[in-house]
Amino acid sequence: MNAIYRLLPLMMFICLCLMLWQYVSGAKDGILDFLAAIRWYLLAAFLLMLVLLRAVWLHAHDRAPDWIYRIIPMDILARLSNRADIEQAADKLDKEAILIDAEAVKARLQSQVVGQDQVCHDLAWQLRRRLALTQRNKPVGVFLFAGPPGTGKTWLAKVLAQVLGRKLLHFDMTQHASGAYSASQLFGMARGYVGSTSYGALTAGLRDYPEAVVLLDEIEKAHPDVLKKFLTAWNDGFITEASDGKQIDSSHAIFILTSNAATDQLADLQQSLGHDPDALRSASVATLREQGFAPEVLNRIDRIFVFAPFSGLDIARVCALEMERMINGYGLKVAGKGIDPQIIIDLMERYKRMGRAASSRDLVRALEESIADSLIQAKERGYDTIELKREDGKVKAKMHRSNPPAAPRSTT
């Protein structure tokens, strides 16, 4: 492009000389007749041409004064900077691989997601391989998180977005089960209809945050027409906005689908085939197809992660984490070693009695029944940091004294 700018003045000057020579050679009596017959507008056009040639030459050599850029309409990058250099840098950035430390990502995921260490490990390494690709016309990944409710599927997606430093676009697909209207909420309304002046929630999100983590919660609840719209995004790397027909790039996004379908079957598969990812995927696909998942949707899913039900100390860890969140939610802090182990043991026993259908949400409800009243009382009394003790079959919040008063000294 810079070479064209440099040659343009010379080319225009040569053309102007040829035109002038042809005009003069065609005059009846030569130069004198030409000068006598010349019109003022020809002279003005000639002078304007010289001015434009000079302006182009100045721009090509970066010598043009600022007032020329204010008069001549041009791209803001060319006006304020060097567009060619920026274009080269942008092209390099688009093709640059993103290398992540899979072990570090795994460790951060496992520190915040309880009971799914294998899922966190596999997910971290999948992302490392996929983000390293420089040429990609599909999303970074389309992953299905399947398994019992309340085992951390949605929470893992949220933590992943935080760890990667990406925007989270969260959509509850139970709200998009009614067909055409649901599709318009996500992908925009066609021209001529009410609401066509604004983008859909998904297309607007990917337009503003092309590297987002797109979380589609309970994907099995979505209307088939909505799912069909996603196939283009997963297969071709773009989504079409209905209001103006623009193609929104989805090749830099990470799509995470969650599903509670076939909970018992997938739990059994996880226990029997958890050591063989390929066999687990094949069996999971067959199971989900029996549950009504469209084959074209399953074919576009890059990896299925089966979440295991909580067991053993994982239940205790979930209890402790949820308890800490609840205490913080009341504006309080829990002291180190400040939770009576018997409180957690009681919750574990209650969780076990609920059976296979139990989830972390059941633990939250049990926690609310056990400790909410004592936390409210602690807040009313002005406590800041508390300890939770089990006394007379009830949980009570005690004020934590980090520096207990010293014993009085003897005067003897």
161 vs 274 pLDDT, higher one:
161
Residue 172 has pLDDT above 90, yes or no: yes
Residue 170 has pLDDT above 50, yes or no: yes
Rounded to an integer, the average pLDDT of 22-37 is: 55
Q: Give the pLDDT score at 28.
A: 47
Place 404 in a pLDDT band, splitting at 50, 70 and 90: very low
Pick the range with the lowest mean pLDDT from 42-46, 147-151, 217-221: 42-46
Rounded to an integer, the average pLDDT of 104-133 is: 92
Rounded to an integer, the average pLDDT of 30-52 is: 62
Pick the range with the lowest mean pLDDT from 5-9, 190-194, 223-227, 405-409: 405-409
Rounded to an integer, the average pLDDT of 74-96 is: 60
- The pair of structure tokens assigned to 275 is 């050591």
Pick the range with the lowest mean pLDDT from 75-79, 148-152, 342-346, 355-359: 75-79
Q: 48-57: per-residue pLDDT in tens?
A: 777 777 777 6
Rounded to an integer, the average pLDDT of 83-87 is: 66
Give how far Cα 89 sits from Cα of 36, 83, 95, 98, 137, Å.
56, 10, 10, 16, 20
| Separation of alpha carbons 169 and 209, rounded Å | 9
- The vertex-364 CA angle with 346 and 375, nearest 5°, equals 80
Place 188 in a pLDDT band, splitting at 50, 70 and 90: confident
Residue 391 has pLDDT above 90, yes or no: no
Q: CB neighbours (10 Å) of residue 129?
A: 11
Q: 193-232: per-residue pLDDT in tens?
A: 776 778 889 999 999 999 999 999 999 999 888 888 899 8
| Separation of alpha carbons 115 and 313, rounded Å | 9
Pick the range with the lowest mean pLDDT from 45-49, 236-240, 395-399: 45-49
Q: 54-77: per-residue pLDDT in tens?
A: 777 666 665 655 555 555 554 565
Q: Give the pLDDT score at 79.
A: 57
Which residue has tokens 């391989």? 129
Q: Is residue 81 left, alpha or beta, with left meaning phi > 0 and alpha meaning psi from -120 to 50?
A: beta
Residue 121 has pLDDT above 50, yes or no: yes
Q: Give the pLDDT score at 405.
A: 44
Its pTM stands at 0.70
Residue 412 has pLDDT above 50, yes or no: no
Residue 264 has pLDDT above 90, yes or no: no
Q: Give the pLDDT score at 25.
A: 62
Rounded to an integer, the average pLDDT of 254-266 is: 89
Q: Give the pLDDT score at 132.
A: 86
Choose which CATH entry (3.90.1300.10, 3.40.50.2000, 3.40.50.300, 3.40.50.1370) describes domain 102-306: 3.40.50.300
370 vs 214 pLDDT, higher one:
214
Q: CB neighbours (10 Å) of residue 190?
A: 14
Residue 107 has pLDDT above 90, yes or no: yes
Closest CA to 58 of 50, 352, 323: 50
Judging by DSSP bridges, how do beta strands 385-391 and 333-339 pair with one another? parallel
Q: Give the pLDDT score at 322.
A: 85
All residues at 6 or more sequence positions from 83 whose CB lies less than 8 Å from its CB, including other chains: 1, 75, 77
- The pair of structure tokens assigned to 186 is 């996500």
Residue 186 has pLDDT above 50, yes or no: yes
| Separation of alpha carbons 54 and 64, rounded Å | 9
312 vs 409 pLDDT, higher one:
312
Pick the range with the lowest mean pLDDT from 24-38, 260-274, 304-318: 24-38
| Separation of alpha carbons 297 and 292, rounded Å | 11
| Beta strands, E only, 234-302 | 238-240, 247-249, 254-259
Residue 305 has pLDDT above 60, yes or no: yes
Q: Give the pLDDT score at 362.
A: 77
Whether 174 contacts 227, CB under 8 Å: no
Which residue has tokens 């799509």? 255
Residue 161 has pLDDT above 90, yes or no: yes
Whether 216 contacts 222, CB under 8 Å: yes
